[in-house]
Amino acid sequence: MQPQIKPPKSEVRLMGRPVPMWLAALVPLAALGLLLSVFVFGNPLALFRSNIPPAENLSFERIQVTQDGFRVTLVNSGPVPVTVTQVQVDQAYWGFSMTPSNTLPRLGRAKLDIHYPWVVGEPNVFRVLTSSGLTFDGLVEAAAPTPVPGLKQFLAYGLVGVYVGILPVMLGMLWYPAMRRLQHRWMGAILSLTIGLLVFLLIDTVLEGLEVAGGLPGAFQGVPLFMFSSLLAWLVLVAVGSSGRGSAADDPEKARLYLAGLIALGIGLHNLGEGLAIGAAFAVGAAALGSFLVVGFTLHNITEGIGIVAPLIPSRRDDTEAGRTAPDQASPRWTRFAGLALLAGAPAIAGAWIGGFAFSPILATIFLGLGAGAIWQVIVEVGRLLQRQGQRERTALVSWLNLVGFLAGLAIMYFTAFLVKV
Amino acid sequence: MAQGKAGWEPLSRRGFIKTGLLAGGLATAVFESGRLGQASDEQAQALFCPVPQPDDPPGHEGLGVVGEVDHARNGFDPTALLTDWDYGTVSVLPNGQTLREYNIVAVDKEIEIAPGVFFPAWTYNGRIPGPSLRCVEGDRIRITFSNGSSHPHTIHFHGIHAASMDGVPGVGDGMIEPGDRTVYEFDAYPFGCHLYHCHSLPLKRHIHKGLYGAFIIDPDPEKYQGQDRVAARSRNHTFPENADVHEMVMVMNGFDTNFDNENEVYAVNTVAFEFMKHPIEIRSDQLQRLYLINITEFDPINSIHIHANFFDYYDHGTTLQPTLRTVDTVMQCQAQRGILEFSFAGFEPGKYMFHAHQSEFAELGWMGFFQVRG
């Protein structure tokens, strides 16, 4: 028998005596508590704040227009509690009631109800006075009743989502048979076109996300939140990709489907952001103009369908490797297409619902961040595909044909965006 | 200072309209017979904007402020200020001239100018407006001014006096430092409805922080004949005819609570909507005489309009006959003032409104009611 060898154990010793591990772990915490209590009870910073009034801060999170007034959601985004004392609507003091309390703790929320005879389509300016006389302003750009959830409304917003998300993607996919019949040297151009439109969507999502993030109260750290969401989406997709690639590598068809799914996911996250914006715009009373906007988005998003199915077109080399002879044998089943269309388009429906009924800039920031990160990874993946394709076809990655395709993608998105941008 | 940020607007209205116009042309071309394109505005409105029912309790409705100002904590009641005259400590000088001695102290004080809204004010004698000094033309006026505030202040009187008594920086005693005192002394001329205010620099800040008050010099009937003498007896507080008149002083002021050089609160005698909540009691058998002074900072003019009635107006109060007859609105630039005379004799009892006829000022606090009793 071999003698028992004790595993080497690192020990904490105090004056030669061993200290239990839990106690050692508590030491930094105890020290932290001590230091904090010095600050809290000793108030060594009193010197700095002797005469400075507390920097109150209030943010208007949401203004809902009700039948006979407004419901305003306020957030205290400053370092001290804030007491709302009076409210002006359109430069006139107006009666109001607040729940749960007129005093908002740090990061606390309160609802402000105001009975006010608003006029349809006219702007309303809100000014909230705190006990120290500081003022914080909010704006309804055009008064119209904010929708409340109901079956009919739910369906209507869903229909908007379908028109903005699912239908254009499906329409775009209908080009698949035509694309398959294209000569193979055009395939690189079509993948480049996909990259072009994805690059447009990336820039669009980042700008939109930064704008929303910038509007968040400082305490929520909007821009970092946006960036972390992007990082999260990107890394998750990288992880998913590296775990899924092994099995997909043997079967080029599977790999292509995987890539198409990835593109659909990225575009879906982007469409979620689009749906949010549209739903929120409808909610602030732009319903009459909304149908034009919906048509605009439908045209704008048709290209997305092309992008999703582009990697599904098998290259000649793949076919010969797989022992097939004709390119039209490897068409995926229609259910696959339906699934991809849902993945890319359905988030627009969810976005329209969230934007219309429960718009939250924080959620919007997170979703747009996720979208940006996902689209980035999708660009990388399509780029890889294009590169492999180029190696097989022995053409350059940035050939003239590919460049034209890329620019065409950008241009289509840019000009159709005229329909939906300011 | 801190201006609130408006909430994030997902798509601006203007952007929406542009979008609509641009997309509209294309859309009508492409989807001429499409269902979406055909839906009327009303249908779309009904679908996307159903009218929600309010689920909050009634009450707290309409124009005005919510809550009550604690006058006891402020140390003054705007209604009491209407008729709170400071005649000074009266004595007779060896030459027979009446001497009136006043004590005014500058004090820093938080004033509740609307329910719950506290303004870090500078005051004369702890109130805004400061004491309504009242005297008779020709009286000797001696004001001992002590500065108990944390900033240098002065008192500058609108009236006739020596340059050294003018209460402006660099002349006479100039700015009075915290803890210091000075004496302003002069003969009260001309009779009228005047004012005094701090003239320290920056002037705008020192005025809008609350350092001002009424300075009323009554005419001396001995100096006038006929109708003028009758009028002077009515105006002069030392004559019994004056007791028949209901006299009030209203100082039109404003407060910039967030220091952005615009007023958040307008009022007469400081507290927003005070006379909406507590109408001024008026007897219909009494002549009403209103000493009106405009000291509103930041806005070029202020005004008063009295509902359902007309008044005679004495600009600056320096005449014994009206300078304007039968008007129901009058405007004043900053430091302009005048006397309004009107009556509700024969009027149906009830609440008669008065307010600035700049609707903005009115709805930001400068409006009130006369409660006319039979």
Q: Count Cβ atoms within 10 A of the Cβ of residue A47 and give its class: 0-12 exposed, 13-18 middle, 19 or more buried.
A: exposed
Give me the interface pTM, i.e. the ipTM: 0.79
Q: How far is B155 from chain A (nearest CA, A)?
A: 27
Percent of chain A predicted with pLDDT > 90? 14
CA dist list (Å): B365 to A45, B249, B263, B276: 40, 17, 11, 9
Which member of A211, A295, A418 has the closest CB to residue B27?
Answer: A295
Q: pLDDT value at position A316? A: 56
Which residue's entry shows tokens 């006389």?
A133
Model confidence at B355: pLDDT above 70: yes
Please indicate whether, in this complex, the C-beta atoms of A287 and B3 are within 8 angstroms of each other. no
* Token pair recorded at residue A362: 């924080």
Backbone angles phi, psi at A366, to 5 degrees: -65, -50
State the pLDDT at residue B184: 97
A286: chain B residues, CB-CB within 8 Å: 11, 13, 16
Tokens describing residue A398: 């940035």
Q: How far is A269 from chain B (nearest CA, A)?
A: 17
Quick check: is B61 in a domain? no
Percentage above 70 pLDDT, chain A: 84
Do residues B118 and B68 make contact, with C-beta atoms less than 8 angstroms apart? no
A126 in Cβ contact with A63 (< 8 Å):
yes
Is the pLDDT score of B56 beyond 60? no
What is the average pLDDT across A114-122? 89
A90-94, B42-46, B198-202, B218-222, range with the lowest pLDDT: B42-46
Cβ-based neighbour number of residue A369 at 10 Å:
31
Residue in A59, A131, A211 nearest the CB of B118: A131
Q: Which residues of B touch A69 (CB under 8 A)?
A: 54
Chain A nearest CA to B12, separation (Å): 7
Nearest to A205 by CA among A337, A351, A104: A351
What mean pLDDT is reported for chain B?
Answer: 87
Average pLDDT over residues A354-369: 81
Q: Are B8 and A134 a contacting pair at CB < 8 A?
A: no
| pLDDT tens, position by position, B205-264 | 999 999 999 999 999 999 999 999 999 999 999 999 999 999 999 999 999 998 899 999
pLDDT at B23 over 60: no
Residue B15 lies in a domain: no
> How many domains does chain B fold into?
1
Supply the DSSP string of A301-368, one letter for each residue: HHHHHHHHHGGGSPPHHHHHHTT---GGG-PPPHHHHHHHHHHHHHHHHHHHHHHHHS--HHHHHHHH
Residue B281 forms part of a structural domain: yes
Q: Write the pLDDT tens digit of every residue in A128-149.
A: 999 988 999 999 888 877 777 7
Interface probe with A: pick from B12, B17, B19, B51, most Cβ of A within 10 Å: B19
Burial class from Cβ neighbours inside 10 Å (0-12, 13-18, 19+) for residue B27 reads: buried
Kindly report the CATH number assigned to the domain that includes residue B101. Answer: 2.60.40.420
Q: Per-residue pLDDT tens for A90-109? A: 999 999 999 889 999 988 89
CATH topology of domain A58-140: Immunoglobulin-like (2.60.40)
Residues B75-133 have pLDDT tens digits of 999 999 999 999 999 999 999 999 999 999 999 999 999 999 999 999 999 999 999 99
Which pair of tokens denotes residue A48?
């700095």
pLDDT at residue B114 in the model: 95
Instruction: Kindly list the domain boundaries of chain A, sorted by start residue.
Output: 58-140, 151-419
Contact B264 A129 (CB under 8 A): yes
Where does the pLDDT of residue A217 fall: very low under 50, low under 70, confident under 90, or very high at 90 and above?
confident
pLDDT at site B162: 95
Residue B145 confidence (pLDDT): 97
Compare CB distances from B56 to A62, A113, A150 and report the shortest one's residue.
A113
- Which pLDDT does position A224 carry in this prediction? 92
A148 contacts in chain B (CB < 8 Å): 50, 52
Task: Please indicate, yes or no, if residue B11 is contained in any of the structural domains.
Answer: no
pTM (whole model) above 0.80: no
- Sorting pLDDT into bands at 50, 70 and 90, what band is B42? low
Quote the longest CA-to-CA distance of chain A: 94
Nearest Cα neighbor of B158 from B178, B133, B140 is B133
Residue A60 vs residue A330, higher pLDDT: A60
Identify which of A169-173, A279-283, A388-392, B111-115 has the greatest average pLDDT: B111-115
Please give the structure tokens belonging to residue B147.
Answer: 């500065």
Kindly calculate the radius of gyration of chain B based on its CA atoms and give it in whole angstroms.
Answer: 26
Q: In this predicted model, which residue has the larger pLDDT, A54 or A239?
A: A239
B13 lies in some domain:
no
What is the structure's pLDDT at B7? 40
Q: What is the mean pLDDT of residues A221-239?
A: 89
Give residue B186's domain range: 75-373
Residue B127 in domain: yes
Peptide bond into A100 cis (omega under 30): yes
Task: Give the pLDDT mean for A152-168.
Answer: 86
User: Which residue in this structure is represented by tokens 């957030």?
Assistant: A75
pLDDT score, position A311: 80
Give SS3 for B238: coil
Looking at every residue in chain A, the average pLDDT score rounds to 80
Of A132, A152, A420, the CB nearest to B47: A152
In chain B, which residues have their Cβ closer than 8 Å to the Cβ of A97? 56-57, 59-60, 66
